[in-house]
Amino acid sequence: MFGTLRTFLAINVILLHVFSIPTLGNFSVSFFFILSGFLMTLIMHDSYSYKIRGVTRFWKNRLLRLFPVYLIIIVLTIFVLKLGLNTSRPPHMYMPNTLSEWLANISMIYPNIVPHRFEPRLSPPSWALTNEMLFYLLISIGISKTQLRTLFWFIISVIYFAVTYLYYDIPTFRYSAVFASSLPFSIGALLFWLIKKFPLKEVKLLHVGFLYVLFILNAVYCNLVNDFLSDLSIYVNMFISTLIIYLLYFLNLGSSIRKIDKKIGLYSYPFYLSHYLVLIMYSVLIGYGVIDNTFKIEVKAMPFYFILLIGVNYLLVHFLEMRVDRFKLQLKNKQFKAY
């Protein structure tokens, strides 16, 4: 059910960015990082290897996963921006002017210790991919290859967070800064080793659903309490997120459910990257509920926005993502034959 989970998390980010529903989207980004730390460590151990050939295969698949749909989305964004429409969009979503700005937008490697501060970004949420790719790199070269390395990584990450509280108490440096992603990624990697030691025999979907409700309630609670408890809820979120991944790994579902889950999961990444592009399109084509002089939409317009979002991404998934998936499968078969 990791595919469905990823899509739910992407929708949570959209609720924050487009509809101003607070905190749940921020917590979902940290959840994404924990899930990535777990899954990347898992596939490096179980599907690839730490030899040059295994690392090469890992990166071929990562690049095919990340870039085709991203490049299509930024081409569409450039086209829309070139039309010069006076519509709702984030202030940092504009055309690059210099070579370095173009290279950053094409590569999703934003040269800033806090990537979301880099401007312009043709796909504003893509800042998180700078963080993701750094830790993909570290995982692929072995930072979580052994239990001891993973534990050491986790301890260093905890120390980083402690230092920010002591010397540089700015929330951004515990959320979107590159090194802030180290803690959730290391938690995910540590979970890989814990799962090996403590397997579960039976997990029910109801258990996962209960924890997901707690995840949502924790995000709501975060906005109703003092600063100390609000900060504490960040770490409660990481704990709940880790438990959900732990349970989902052992959740035994039928093959038909797994196929549906995979199809739903194909929408997570395009949803995440395209939702501001779709916001511009929505402002032009529909316009209902758009709040003047902002890049937000009223909650009452949510069904109409999501219909357009799903429609646009249906085309991206069926004409691009599914073809890329088939190509990756062919590549995988060729590589196995080469062995």
Domains of the chain, by residue range, sit at 2-338
Distance CA(295)–CA(311), nearest Å, equals 21
Secondary structure class of 297 (helix, strand, coil): strand
| Dihedral sign from CA coordinates of 220, 131, 106, 62 | negative
Distance CA(69)–CA(317), nearest Å, equals 9
What is the phi/psi pair of residue 88, to 5°? Answer: -70, 125
Question: Hey, what are 211's tokens?
Answer: 């924890």
Average pLDDT for runs of 10 along the chain of length 339: 94 95 93 98 95 94 94 94 76 93 97 95 96 97 97 97 88 92 98 95 92 94 88 95 97 89 94 95 91 89 97 93 81 61
pLDDT for the residue 208: 95
Distance CA(91)–CA(77), nearest Å, equals 14
pLDDT for the residue 325: 81
Secondary structure class of 146 (helix, strand, coil): coil
